[in-house]
Chain A
Amino acid sequence: MDFKQAYSADNLMFLLEGFGMTLRLALLAIVLSFIVGLLVGVVCYARIPIVSKLLGLLVEMVRNLPLLLIIFFARYGLPEFGIQLNLFWAAILALTVFEAAMIAEIVRSGLRSVDRGLVEASRASGLGAVQTLRHVVLPIGLRRMVPPLVSQFISLLKDTSLTVIISLAELTHNANIIMGQNINIVMPTLLLVAALYFVVNYALSLAARRLEVRRHA
């Protein structure tokens, strides 16, 4: 193992560039998939005839497919339908579709866990269905969703590594290129890359645990 060669200035810069791309990818996908997932989850919860059922089926389908397949399809399948996206946006689209489906299920079951009695009490005191959702069910449900949501976001950050399959220049892809140079720098590079992913994810999970403790205190 050759740590000195592995951590040369050029290699470190290249890895940091990749790390920057990984973070950008993850951040944008987190925001987008949260918005879409929240909307879809609420619609599924609301049991609007036909619409909720159809969306529910779609969510179930996407959730049960490998993300790798969805990423590949977004890049190489969509052009056959006339939708041409560059690497970055193909990755964003795939990540958003998959993670939004996961989040929609978290949102739906979080909302369903809110006590029926509260909903009935709210409706009985004159609030409409939408008002009940906005002022009663969502605030209570969302607080309960924080832990599973954070672990989904951690999954998302890890999942960005799967975009190697379309050669997007993020951390894992750049590491792959460096590792191809010389067999002696493979392990040192893998260790450094693992450390970079770990730091961000561990910080996220600590923050989530903090939130949890404060809420129970």
Chain B
Amino acid sequence: MPDFTVLTDHWETFLLGLRNTLLASLLALVGSFAAGTLIAVLRISHWRALRFLGTVYVEVFRNIPLLLVVYGFFLGLPALGIALNGFVSGTLGLIVYTSAFIAEAVRAGILAVPKGQMEAARSSGLTYAQAMRRVVLPQAVRIVIPPMTNQFLNLVKNSSVLGVIAGMDLMYYGDIINLETYDTVDTYLFVAMFYLVLTLPLAYTSRLLERRLARGG
């Protein structure tokens, strides 16, 4: 049987970690959705240079470890005179990394909007930027929202890298509790339980949305 005093004695510390994990994941979701949409628009731009820029961003950040991106903010920026704490560095790292994946999802969403929509908007006098912003993107976003549940789930799991750079998340506070109790098994059992409290409902919702989408409802 697990030793529940680990849980009851450090209840507030666990909750603080849970809150920060959730906060970092939420901030990163919003940030990377905005950045990802921008990159997706670059990826389908008429200008070759912009397209190239978008493609390089996506390919680079999809193919290097998240931890390196986080180190870029946490260890790299101080060399340039900018010192950020673990939570901020970690969240920025999550945004930069995740936006490459979200950009691909949004791009697929934009391409799924029938071409006639853009043409009709343009022929009724809207500029390309207006048509994109008012006609195509709102429809694309509706296609892209369901898979975001899955991105959020990944963010919750990935936010654990904050623990490596003292980012005050669940993993970090787990470490603090572990150093106090010397009960590694029970401490991390409860840390795992707190992660599952966040991720399992997300996994369930994601599957439900997928099934509904497959049925075309």
- Residues in A lying within 8 Å of B, measured CB to CB: 1, 60-61, 63-69, 72-73, 76-77, 80-81, 154, 158-159, 161-162, 164-165, 172, 176, 179, 183-184, 186-187, 190, 193-194, 197-198, 201-202, 205
Contacts and interface: CB of A to CB of B under 8 A. Distances in A.
B79 A183 contact: yes
Contacts of A158: 63-66
B37 interface: no
Contact of A190 (B75, B171, B196): B75
Given A165-B164, A205-B63, A65 B68 contact: no
A146 to B, nearest CB: 18
Interface stretch (B41-49, B119-127, B136-144, B183-191): B183-191
5 contacts: A68-B171, A76-B184, A158-B65, A184-B79, A202-B63
A157 to B, nearest CB: 8
A103 B68 CA distance: 25
B103 interface: no
Given A69-B171, A69-B188, A190-B75, A64 B195 contact: yes
B64 A64 contact: no
Contacts of B188: 69, 72-73, 77
B35 interface: no
Given A184-B79, A186-B78, 12 more contacts: A60-B203, A63-B203, A64-B196, A66-B159, A77-B188, A80-B184, A172-B68, A194-B64, A194-B68, A198-B60, A201-B64, A202-B63
A63 B199 CA distance: 9
Nearest to A199: B63
Contact of A77 (B62, B64, B157, B184): B184
Given A64-B200, A68-B161, A161 B67 contact: yes
Contact of B160 (A66, A77, A190): A66
A197 B64 CA distance: 6
The interface centre, meaning the residue of B163, B171, B184, B203 with most chain A CB atoms within 10 A of its CB, is B184
A197 B67 CA distance: 12
Contacts of B78: 183, 186
Contacts of B195: 64-66, 69
Contact of A65 (B65, B66, B76, B192): B192
B179 to A, nearest CB: 11
Contacts of B171: 66, 68-69
B40 interface: no
Contacts of B160: 66-69
Interface of B: 59-60, 62-68, 71-72, 75-76, 78-80, 153, 157-161, 163-164, 171, 174, 184-185, 188, 191-192, 195-196, 199-200, 203
A200 to B, nearest CB: 8
Nearest to A154: B63
Nearest to A204: B63
B164 A64 contact: no
Nearest to A160: B65
B75 A162 contact: no
A60 B174 CA distance: 22
A198 B58 CA distance: 12
Contacts of A63: 203
A161 B65 contact: yes
A193 B68 contact: yes
A164 B75 contact: no
A69 B192 contact: yes
Given A65-B192, A66-B160, A164-B164, A190 B63 contact: no
A172 B187 CA distance: 27
Contacts of B71: 176, 179, 190
A190 B70 CA distance: 11
Contacts of B158: 66
Nearest to A60: B203
A32 to B, nearest CB: 20
B157 A187 contact: no
A49 B73 CA distance: 50
